[in-house]
Structure 1
Amino acid sequence: MRKSSTLVFATVLLLLTALTNYSLYAQTQSTVKGIVFHDKNENGVFDSGDKPLKNIAVSNSRDVTVTDRKGEYELPLRNNSAVFVIKPRNWAVPVDENQIPRFYKMYSTTGISGTKYEGLAPTGQLPLSVDFPLLPSKEPDKIKALIFGDTQPRDNKEIYFMSKDVIPELIGTDADFGVTLGDVVFDDLSIYDHLTGSLSPIGIPMWYVAGNHDFDYTGNNSIEARGTWYKKFGPSYYSFSHGPAHFIVLDNVRWIIDGDERYYRTGLGENQLEFFRNEIKRLDDDQLLVLMAHIPWEGSREWHDEAEKQEFYNLLASHSNSLSLVAHTHRHYHQFIGQEAGFPRNEPLHMISMGTVCGAWWTGAPNEFGIPHTMMSDGTPNGYAFLHIDKNDWKLEWKTAGVPENVQMHIHAPEAVSSENEIKVIANIYNALPDAAVKMKIGDNGEWIEMKRIPQIDPVRLDEKEKEKQLGEVPWRKMGGDYDSEHIWEASVKPELKPGVHTVQIIANDDWFEYRGEKLLHVK
């Protein structure tokens, strides 16, 4: 009996001591510590049989450190930020039921939120050890990533459009993972769960980039405006490796409050820029670096701080092998940012503004299934892309939603002509690089002639808008403004054609692919 009482007393004393120590720790908590480990039994907890992992990077959203031989790390603790593991090659992080990577621990003493949508609640003090499980995952030198420009549904109806138009053909894809480049939704943050749940049948981990329409606009600064994002997706900037490449996701949307005015500009902020600086320092100089953000670095929204922009370019230029994937413009184009824009390398930065899943926000006449054609302002149809990486080389493949993958252009030419007419042919080749060699011929016996790239408004889009205009009031969202397409080639020819039906053939070759297109021409 006495032994039992002594044991109970000792146990209570140990519990009180532990609680007292935790209370003292909570009051003085200035660092965050933990272990990164191989989660052999996949229960998410570091326990017997799990193996600590050394040299794994961990960040507090500003500083970056690596684990020691015991798998342990320690970092300064920062309020209103995330602590996260930086996924290394050949390891995977856990994902939730919607395939969203869970690689972080948010920390906020007061919570982060605007007033319209539910944000991140106060997290309380962090555990004594903030641990991160990893799972083995073989990642070869050749990998494939699914790239979405803005999904951006306004409401559940537009999620259904995407669920019929895009997602079914991606179920079972051989892509290793996917990325959505911001504007995940269109201002209504309450539909995040429906959106991410609708993407989950694709069956691959999906990383998310924050866009300007992912703000709670009632927030009084960039942090508050991201409160719902932190609750649903975790940090708005982070990084990970997959295969031979390193990916850095940046949140380049700054929410500005200036008196009664509220607006956004391009920018990073001091903490994010320091995180970027620390990540750049860690990389081998020739490792492929893929930057992913929402707003193009040039030509869309001006930077909030030009000095910050120049520092960002200077840091990026210190790395020899990089590309940028952005979205936001609802067009698809390649831009090469050079010294005239402040990028201080002899070789320009290749940036791609990705065409979008939602196209032109689901506008235009619906097809027989009720889905708007949603052609973008530069004539590109809605769709997505695959980023192919082979060691340090890469190429981007465009896929228009709902059509075979070999459909890479549309051609504008007269439907019918007289045999003596001059014929003007215009080809919109959605993903062709600007220096692509493009040629055309008419008829089996025609000669191949060179086509010239001439940026212009897509005439196919203009024809569609004119049809819509003639209809007057329509029950769908009408098409919006037009923008010069950067991937249009044209040529004029006066061939000698006998009456009948002839084929216009176009072949385009760039450093990545060969693209082919055909159109029938009726000669009277």
Structure 2
Amino acid sequence: MLDRRDFLKNAGLTGSLFALPSLLKAQPDTKTAGGVDLSVITLKGKVQSQGSGIAGVSVTDGINITQTDRSGRYELKSNATAEFVYISLPAGYAIPEEKGIAAFYKPVTKSSTQVNDFNLTKLSVDDRKHNFVVWADPQIISEKDADLLKTQSAPDLKALVASYPAGTLWHGIGCGDLVWDHFELFEDYKQAVEITGVPFYNLIGNHDMDIDARTDDGSAKTFKQQFGPTYYSYNRGDIHYVVLDDVFFIGTAKKYIGYITENQLRWLEQDLATVKPGSTVVVSLHIPTLTGQPKRDKKDEEFGGTVSNRKQLYKLLAPFKVHIMSGHTHFNDNWEEGDMMEHNHGTVCGAWWTGPICGDGTPAGYGVYEVDGSDIKWYYKSTGLPKEKQVRVYAKGRLKDAPDEFCANVWNYDSKWKVEYLEDGVLKGNMEKRVAYDPWAAELYSGPQFPKKHKWVEPTLNDHMFFAKPSAGVQKITVRATDRFGNVYEDTISFS
């Protein structure tokens, strides 16, 4: 991590890292003509563990960032527009939580001076090795959906954690659309998280917004009451984690675009200034910055489907090794360029709790990431299935568009996988990757009569389908998929 004094010297700055936007500059107990309260508030306190201060911890009001001094004390000039004061959890400390929900923030009151201390617990193990999971789109709309989340998804994660050595560090990222517009179900989501035994950081999705808000500024009111700030950072081991709000509500019910505001970008510049170039940074946001869907569907990008100003985000992230975690699409999609990779996850709810798979054939489930220092390995965990299940093979002709071929769905595929097939135990070679529908998804979700629960659900094209034509007389086909880490996964079908 950069020495803060050196950074300020190099940047030619004193005081706060960056100036406030002009509207939000602290003023002496005044209001603008529009009624915005800009009264000066001083935020101060101590970040400590067992009474001893922790130096160099970033503390923010969501606009400016300061860092604690040698004794762990901080002081930040803010104003009455601030909603929270919060920390970027330093490496080596346990995630503060309340019943599984990360608790790293304090609400800002209107008093002129507010004192908030943050008490942290030092870890007894080295957190350079840790795991995390990404729950994209639980998206519960009813008590029945909530029960499935609590009786299927949460126990699945709890069992996965139990399968690892005792003492393994875990945390979760709730990647947006925690509920489906029914805010009374936030409590059910929290209960599910508590069942897992894993502390979760959470971020806002388009179905977690107040759609009766006048503008985007008010659209996160309920979410903030439940989970705190919508953008923040934290550290674990050698990894710096950033959470962003990229769902921009345009003031009309259920209308939004993928967009990162200037306030967030300014804040992120300050946050990343304390991170050593070349470090690994994990960025989580709900709407993906980019996917292959427009190319697959031969359509233009939709404003609500990807982040419109993603190039500005990429510029800020350019000095780092970056993994972007996203949800929203209800399909699995991975892309990589240089030191940046985006993991767009299949969903916890599958196709909105209508069946066991997403529209692209990815099973309902979640991403699992294993961190060792600055290196990250990953796999997709399908709910109710062993973690070794990473490929599904279909018999010849199961996909009507390929009557003479068998096919396989390798849902977490990226460009460094290898997909081969064997006939009666004899390796025949690589399979052909093509854009196609998953046969099972087509059967479950095609047509206005399917599925019964949500008739608008449809199968989606994906580019992780693989095809080959079987030889005459073959009795058994095995598809072998090898991921970038050398893990080998197989699935087999037999011909009668």
TM category, shorter? 0.7 to 0.9
Work out whether 1:34 is the aligned partner of 2:11: no
Structure 1 regions of 5+ residues with no counterpart? 1-23, 41-49, 108-122, 339-346, 364-371, 417-421
Q: Is the 8 A contact 1:267 1:304 kept in 2?
A: no
Q: Is the 8 A contact 1:36 1:132 kept in 2?
A: yes
Q: Within 5 A, what are the aligned runs for 1:245-284?
A: 245-257=239-251, 263-284=255-276
Q: What residue number does 1:440 align with?
A: 421
Provide the rounded CA distance (Å) in 2 between the counterparts of 1:199 and 1:261.
29
Shift of 1:457: 1.0
Q: Within 5 A, what are the aligned runs for 1:206-225?
A: 206-225=200-219
Shift of 1:312: 2.0
Q: What residue number does 2:286 align with?
A: 294
SS of residue paired to 2:141: coil
Work out whether 1:488 is the aligned partner of 2:465: yes
Shift of 1:452: 1.5
Shift of 1:381: 1.1
Task: Name the aligned partner's letter for residue 494 of structure 1.
Answer: S
Task: Name the aligned partner's letter for residue 222 of structure 1.
Answer: D
Shift of 1:272: 0.9
Task: Name the aligned partner's letter for residue 417 of structure 2.
Answer: A
Q: What residue number does 1:148 align with?
A: 135
Q: What residue number does 2:73 align with?
A: 72
Structure with higher Rg: it is 1
Work out whether 1:234 is the aligned partner of 2:236: no
Call closer, same or farther: CA 1:141–1:66 in 2, change over 3 Å: same
Q: Within 5 A, what are the aligned runs for 1:337-416?
A: 347=338, 349-363=340-354, 372-373=355-356, 375-414=357-396
**Percentage of matched positions with identical amino acids:** 25
Task: Name the aligned partner's letter for residue 88 of structure 1.
Answer: P
Call closer, same or farther: CA 1:354–1:175 in 2, change over 3 Å: farther
Q: What residue number does 2:57 align with?
A: 56
SS of residue paired to 1:30: strand
Q: What residue number does 1:431 align with?
A: 412
The structure 1 segments of at least 4 consecutive aligned residues displaced by more than 4 Å after TM superposition are 303-308, 472-475
Q: Is the 8 A contact 1:144 1:177 kept in 2?
A: yes
Shift of 1:303: 7.7
- Alpha-carbon deviations, 1:141-176, whole Å to 9, x = none? 221112111111012110111222211122251551
Call closer, same or farther: CA 1:522–1:306 in 2, change over 3 Å: closer
How many positions carry a matched residue from both structures? 439
Call closer, same or farther: CA 1:217–1:430 in 2, change over 3 Å: same
Q: Is the 8 A contact 1:250 1:291 kept in 2?
A: yes
Q: Within 5 A, what are the aligned runs for 1:166-205?
A: 166-171=153-158, 173=161, 174=168, 176-205=170-199
Task: Name the aligned partner's letter for residue 42 of structure 2.
Answer: T
Provide the rounded CA distance (Å) in 2 between the counterparts of 1:351 and 1:265.
19
SS of residue paired to 1:246: strand
Call closer, same or farther: CA 1:101–1:410 in 2, change over 3 Å: same
Call closer, same or farther: CA 1:520–1:236 in 2, change over 3 Å: same
Call closer, same or farther: CA 1:139–1:223 in 2, change over 3 Å: farther
Provide the rounded CA distance (Å) in 2 between the counterparts of 1:452 and 1:27.
61
Shift of 1:522: 2.4
Work out whether 1:464 is the aligned partner of 2:447: no
Shift of 1:31: 2.5
1:82 maps to which of 81, 84, 92: 84
- Alpha-carbon deviations, 1:260-304, whole Å to 9, x = none? 676211112121111111111111112210000000112465389
With the length of structure 1 as denominator, give the TM-score of the two structures. 0.78
Provide the rounded CA distance (Å) in 2 between the counterparts of 1:495 and 1:304.
44
2:149 maps to which of 157, 162, 177: 162
Call closer, same or farther: CA 1:307–1:438 in 2, change over 3 Å: closer
Once superposed, what is the RMSD of the aligned Cα atoms? 2.7
Call closer, same or farther: CA 1:186–1:139 in 2, change over 3 Å: farther
Q: What residue number does 1:16 align with?
A: none
Q: Is the 8 A contact 1:150 1:182 kept in 2?
A: yes
SS of residue paired to 1:483: coil
Provide the rounded CA distance (Å) in 2 between the counterparts of 1:191 and 1:398.
26
Work out whether 1:323 is the aligned partner of 2:301: no
With the length of structure 2 as denominator, give the TM-score of the two structures. 0.82
Call closer, same or farther: CA 1:396–1:27 in 2, change over 3 Å: closer
Call closer, same or farther: CA 1:303–1:430 in 2, change over 3 Å: closer
Provide the rounded CA distance (Å) in 2 between the counterparts of 1:451 and 1:184.
37
